[in-house]
Amino acid sequence: MSVGEVRSVLSGFEAMQGLRVLISGGEPLLHPGFGEINRFLPDFRVRKVLFTNGTLLTREVLRGLNVDEIQISIDGMEKGHDALRGADGFRRAMEALRLAGDYGFDVSVATMVHSGNLGEFDEMEKVFKGLGVRDWTVDVPCAAGALKMNRGLQPGPEVAGRYLKYGFGSGPHGGEEGFGCGLHLVCVLADGRVAKCSFYSDRTLGRIEDGLPACWGRLKPVRLSDLGCDCDLIETCRGGCRFRAETLGDPLGKDLYKCHLYGIL
């Protein structure tokens, strides 16, 4: 997306009384126009969250950053994180997390459960709480993108589901009674296509040229009553992740990772 397109999306979102925008990527700090985008972020009265791997968060960048919150991907303690993201990644991500807190930003962490970090969640919880992390989001990666070629990294539902009990704060995407995940969520992909979330890049809702409200209007909410879920926890669980259910065989079926989290399987 060009700098102008980013500005126009933010205008559309603010006009719709949007609340919270996650500035993501790939790595958003690599966008060649990020400096310009950062300069106009204060013009928009929405909560701005920068979602980054932290490797480019220097003191100089942090001094001038116009966001409310910085969310950093940390996928384990040193062993687990570096197994997924490469040598020295953990040290750099943790340094970025501490620095972001020192500069007064709200900080949050996003963690994926993978086969290399399973023994590290208690320690992560202690470390993140100790650093004043506001939200810790723990999720299981969906079989998409590069993960399709690295299936060994993805534990099955019976193992990974148990780790979804970790995490604290407000959680990934709030919902509403009677509806599944993502009721208030929409994603603008890096090339300007709009989708329910980044996993649905093959079923887009249009392009930003159509206007954000028009694209959002094409989004079909998922009603819990349409799901094949048959447990008493449905309002708490909300049927989990629809994309994950789809990769397990049925878009309206159970998200088995959540079933294992709640111990109903």
Residues near ligand SF4 (CB under 6 A): 229, 231, 233-234, 237, 239-240, 254-255, 258-259, 262, 264
Closest Cα to residue 196, out of 222, 219, 178? Answer: 219
Which residue's CB atom is positioned nearest to ligand SF4?
A: 229
What is the smallest separation between the CB atom of 265 and ligand SF4, expressed in angstroms?
8
Question: In the complex, what is the shortest distance from the CB of residue 240 to ligand SF4, in angstroms, rounded to a whole number?
Answer: 4
We find the least distance from the C-beta atom of residue 262 to ligand SF4, in angstroms, to be 5
Nearer to ligand SF4, 31 or 254 (CB): 254
Q: Which helix (H) or strand (E) holds 110?
A: strand 106-112
Task: Supply 154's token pair.
Answer: 């993805």
CB of 154 to ligand SF4, least distance (A): 18
CB-nearer residue toward ligand SF4: 49 or 245:
245
| Distance, CA of 166 to CA of 259 (rounded, Å) | 15
For residue 241, the minimal CB distance to ligand SF4 (Å) is 9
Beta-carbon neighbour count of residue 131 at 10 Å?
14
Q: And the tokens for 129?
A: 């709480």
Sign of the dihedral defined by the CA atoms of residues 76, 90, 143, 141, in that order = positive
Helix H or strand E segment including 215: helix 212-217
Nearer CB in complex with ligand SF4: 31/244: 244
Residue 205, C-beta contacts closer than 8 angstroms, at least 6 positions apart:
186, 194, 195, 196, 215, 216, 218, 219
Q: Which two tokens stand for residue 54?
A: 């932290």
